[in-house]
Every structure is written in structure tokens, then in C-alpha cells.
Structure 1
Amino acid sequence: MPSISLGFVDHSARVMQVITWNRSFKGIPQPEQVKNELDDAEGETHATVLEKLLAWEKKLSHEVKEFEVIKMEYQQKLASLNKKKQRGVSSSSFERTKSAASHLHTRYVVDLQTMESTISEINRLRDQQLYPKLLELVKGMGHMWDAMYKHHKAQLKIISELKSFDISVAARETSEQHNERTVQLWQVVQEWHVQYSKFMASQKEYVGNLYSWIKLNVIPIDTNLKANSSQPVETTPPIKRLLHAWHDMLGKLPDEDARKAIHTFSEVVHIILVHQDEEIKLRQRIQDTRKEHERKSRQFEDWARKYMEKRAGIPPEAGNPDGTRADPLAERKAAMEKLENSLKELEEAYTKQCKVVREKSLSLLRTNLPELFRIVSEFSLQSAAMFKDLWSISNTNDQLDD
């Protein structure tokens, strides 16, 4: 049963922060309303079961606070009654105090019974609704990781076979489509890393919060009553054994290795993207320089034709008496040759960059892809095994309870 104290910790509230649901709980149910259509286990979702547990936990918290107030008042009245009895006060004063103490004792017992009723409902929800939902989750997660392992194993086999793949017939340049696909791959791997991290963190947080709550939930009530107690002898519920094992196994799961492998591959793809961007920028510079060269070539040809027509029939000495003036034709030819040399240098740098991109990309992918799928396939296998073990524990729980 849940622990009863003034410092009641509402672990259910923390649990509910990890799960989102679609419908809200309309008020705290009354005992006569417990058996209604909302309690149909088949119609409940994992989230709505938690929602109901939270509502009952809040109800219990309120009842505990009221119980502690009555308990304190009752103890004070008993102390006052004992003092009056020792001092031998008048019969009327003693009887009034005794009557007040009796009234508080009645409220004390009624409040205790109310709490026990609430605790009984919490335990019913815990064992008959939450526990089956957790088993469904364990079974579904086991199937999911088993499927993930098969897919990652197949991916590893394909990638391993690509190590000897001949890329000599592949395109030597990075096309726009190729670059777009690389960007898409990088974004997908980044999102994979983010979602994987969130998934593992949420699972650990959820199981951790549930386990913290269940450890308090199964602590018997301390009512300080000396009379006969209606509390049964508490046994460890199956849900606690399941959550204990789940919490322990999650802590041993090497999820950090998979997270690092995904993050590393994301950085590898980004490195490839950087090289591709340099290649594309060089290609754009070549295109711009080639256009400039074509434009200036046409201008030079037009100018040279007009220049030669103008110079036709004029003696060389007429326009250059001392013969020291530079030939404008030679100057413009030199400028054109310089532009042609710049274009050739860019083309050589581009060819070299294309080769670097191809070789670097192939080397990085051949090295990191097999390692990535090896690690995630191993993690998937270990995760699938973990949930199979948890399922086995639940079957053992059923046998123990029988």
C-alpha cells in the first residue's frame, strides 16, 4: 500500500510528464462511480490508465493531509483528557473533553477507512490495468527491436558487400541531385540521432519514475493504531518485480555506444558535404570564368579587327615616333592569355577536387557505414533480448502468484 505521511511525494505527477494523452480526466471519481464504462480495461489506453492513477493519487494525497490534521487534533485531545484526569477536574469538564475526543476518534477511523478504500482502488488500477498495459508495451517493444535487428543485420550485409564495389563507372563529378541526396542523408541521420536520444532518455525517465512510485506504493500504512488493523500482509506485486528488472536492465544497456555511432556517422556525412560544397563552388567559379573568357574573347576579336583596319596603311612610325610606346594589341593579348591561364588552373583544381571528393567519400563510407550498422544491429539484438527477458519475468510472476 502507498506510504501515508504529511510529506507525501506524488510520483504519479512525474510519471505523467513523460506520456502525452488525448483525453482529460473529468474530476475525481466517487466510490459508487468506480465500476463504469471508463473502467473497461479493453477500452483504456496506457495513458488514460496513468491519468486515472494520477487522479486517485491526488485524492489520496488530499485525504492524507486531512487525516494528519484529525490525527493531531485527536492526540491533543487525548493529552488534554489525561491531564484533566490527573488533576481531578470537574466531571462536566472531563466529560466534554472525553466526548470531543470520542468524536475525533470516530472521524479518525472513518478517514482511515476512506484512505484504505482509495488505496484499494489505486492497487486495483495498478495491478489490473497498469500492469497489463506495461506487459503489452514490453511485448510490443520486443517485437519492434527484433524487427530492427533484422533490418540492421541486412543493411550490414549489403554494406559489407559494397566494400569491393567498383566505382570506376560512376560519375566523376558531384551532380546537384547527388548533393541534394547527401544533404537529405545528413538531415535524416541527424534526426535519427535526436530521436534515438530522446527515445532512450524518455524510456529511462518513464521507467525510473514508475519504479520510484511503485517502491513507495507498496510500503504499508503506519496509522499508529494499537487496535486490530484491517490491513492485509503486503506481498510484492508483479508490477514491482517487472519494473525493478526493467530499471536494472536499462541501466546496463549500452545505448551510449549506439548514440555515439549515429552521431559519428552524421559528422562523417557532414565532412563529405563540405568537400562536395567546395567542388560545387569551384565548378561555379569555372562556369563564371568561362563566361567571362567568352565575353572578353568576343570583345577582343571585335576590337582587334577594328584596330587592324584602323592601322592599315599607316606607317609604324606615324603613331609612335620614338618606337617606345607599348603595342595595345600585345597588351590585350597578354590579358586574354592571363585569363585563359586562370581558367586552366581552376579546371585543374576542379579535377583534383572531384578526385578528392570521390576518394574521401568512398573511404569514409567504407570505414564508417559497416561500423555504424554493426553497432546498431548489436544494440537492437541486446534490446530485443532485454524485452524477451522481461516478458519471461512476467510469466514467472504469474506462476509465483498462482
Structure 2
Amino acid sequence: MEMWKMMYKSHQFQNHISKQLNHLTDNLSMDLTTESRLQATAQLETEVSFWYYSFCRLIKSQQEYLRTLCQWIQLTDCLVSNQQQSRCSSAVRRLCEEWHLGFEKLPDKVASETIKSFLLAIQSIIQQQAEEHNQKKKSEKLQKRLQKELISLTEMEKKVEESVLTLDMNSTLSPKHPLSLKRAKTEALKKRVDVEKSKHLNSVQLSKTMILNNLKTSLPNVFQALMGFSKACVEVFEAIHGNSQPEIPCAS
């Protein structure tokens, strides 16, 4: 009971901290595609996944223990030899039954599903970060290709300039001239680079918005659900503790 009281206070504090995210905006000067941030998100997914499965195992193990304990106590009733032991056995059986029934009514599904929703939110962030990272690589690849094309174009222009007698080189070139084709190709590549850069910037902004929105929504929901669960646990134990004082002490 004292443990769950402490858990309730801890979740209250965590809930208060999580609500401070509402003061953050997506106008953050950060590069979300850095390797360290990708690793941090992956680590967060690992921790929350472990948190979710550990919570589910805790509830399942506790309920199975109480169920087995109640069955065992029922089987030992036939070993009672006198009235005092009978009353003691009844008190113990009643305590375990109340404990079992109390845990069956706990809002563990709400808490576990909320943690799972948080996990799914993190996984959606990881997917978006992967798309952003791929878009960055695509943009950088095209940028390198453009740099090579610009160098090649400069070299071709020098050669053509040396081969013509007039300074007005543009007027002497037909649209099908290799230099004209080279310029058109380079210009088209410039436009593609601009498009991919724009896509990358949009992807970065989408990642920022998704991270903040998911954290602002999911984290308070998680800790509010855990506050409700830990408070319900305290109430269960308080009720059992108040109803489990036997009138006649059991023999040791």
C-alpha cells in the first residue's frame, strides 16, 4: 500500500513535468536528422517497449499469484482442526478473496493501452525520421551530382569559347548544340535540387511538429492513466487493510 502511495506521488510529479511540454513550440533551432537524435529516439522506443511489456507482466503475474493463492487456501480448509483455526482460515480466505477481487477491478487495461499508444506514437516518429533521413540523403546526392555537372559545364564553356571567334557565344549556338543541351540539362537538375531541398525542409518541419504533438498528447495521457491505476491500487489495499482485522488472533 505504501509502495503504491509513493508510485502515485511519483506519477503526479511526472504528469506535472510532462505538461510543461505545452510551453514548447516547433520553432526549435535543431537538426532532427543528426545521428544522436535518431539514436535517442530508438533508445526511447526500446525503453517504452520494455516498460509496456513489464507492466503487462506485472499485472498478469500478480493476478495469477492471487488466483493460485485463493485456490490453495480453499484446498487447506479441510485441514482445519478446531474452531479458532477455522475462524482464522476464514479471515485469511476472505482477505485473499478481497485482494483478488480488488485487483480484478483495477484499470490496468487503460494504463497498458495508454503506454502502448505512447509506444506507437514513438514508432511513428521513428518512421518519419527515417523518411526525413532518406530525403536528406536524396537531396545531398542530387546536390553532389549538380556540382559535378556545373564543373563539367564550365569546362565545356571554356572549350567552346576558345573555338568561336565572336564574344557573343550564346547567339552562335543552336538549341541542339552540345553546350545548349548541357546548359538545359544543368538547369533542369538545378530545379530538381531545389525541389528535393524543399521536400527535405518540409520533412524536417513535419518531424518537429510530430515529435512535439505526440509528446504533448501522449506523455500526459500516460502519467494520468498511471496516476489512476496507482490510486486505485492504494484504495484496494486500504479497503483490504480496513476489513482484515480478525477478532481472534491466529495461532502461530
TM range (shorter): 0.7 to 0.9
Aligned partners of 2:174, 2:122: CA distance in 1, in Å? 61
Whether 1:263 aligns to 2:116 is yes
- 2:129 alignment counterpart: 276
If asked which structure has higher relative contact order (CA below 8 Å, sep 6+), I would say 2
> What are the residue-to-residue correspondences of 1:160-179 with 2, within 5 Å?
160-171=19-30, 173-179=32-38
Cα offset, 1:219, TM superposition: 2.6
Please name the residue that 2:237 is paired with.
387
Structure-1 separation of matches of 2:233 and 2:110: 13
Structure 2 residues without counterparts, runs of 5 or longer: 167-171
1:235 maps to amino acid: S
Q: Which sections of structure 1, spanning at least 5 residues, go unmatched?
A: 1-141, 222-230, 315-319
Distance 2:196 2:209 in 1: 20
Q: Offset of 1:181 from its aligned partner?
A: 1.3
Following TM superposition, where does structure 1 have runs of at least 4 consecutive aligned residues deviating by more than 6 angstroms?
none
Q: Is residue 58 of structure 2 the alignment partner of residue 199 of structure 1?
A: yes
Letter in 2 for 1:384: V
> Closer, same or farther in 2 for the Cα pair 1:325/1:242, shift >3 Å?
closer
Structure 1 or 2: more helix by fraction: 2
Q: CA deviation at 1:334?
A: 0.8
Contact 1:272–1:360 at 8 Å: present in 2 too? Answer: yes
Per-residue displacement from partner, 1:249-289 (whole Å, max 9, x unpaired)? 11111111101110111111111222222111111111111
- In structure 2, relative to structure 1, the CA distance for the partners of 1:324 and 1:379 (3 Å cut) is closer
Match of 1:335 among 173, 177, 185: 185
- Please, which of 104, 112, 115 is the counterpart of residue 251 of structure 1? 104
Contact 2:42/2:126 (8 A) holds in 1: yes
Question: Is the Cα–Cα contact under 8 Å of residues 145 and 381 in structure 1 kept in the other structure?
Answer: yes
Give TM-score, length-normalised by structure 2. 0.86
Q: What amino acid is aligned across from residue 380 of structure 1 in structure 2?
A: S
Deviation of 1:166 (Å): 3.9
What amino acid maps onto 1:295 in structure 2? K
**Which of 359, 376, 379 is 2:226 aligned to?**
376
Task: Answer whether contact 2:26 2:209 (CA < 8 A) is retained.
Answer: no
Contact 1:172 1:358 in 2 (8 A): no
1:297 is aligned to 2:150: yes
Task: Provide the residue aligned with 2:18 in structure 1.
Answer: 159
Matched, 1:312 2:164: yes
Q: Is the 8 A contact 2:73 2:93 kept in 1?
A: yes
Identity in percent: 24
Q: 2 CA distance for matches of 1:386 and 1:232?
A: 31
The count of residues paired between Structure 1 and Structure 2 equals 242
Larger Rg: 1
How far apart in 2 are the matches of 1:351 and 1:325? 35
TM-superposed CA distance for 1:170, in Å, is 3.8
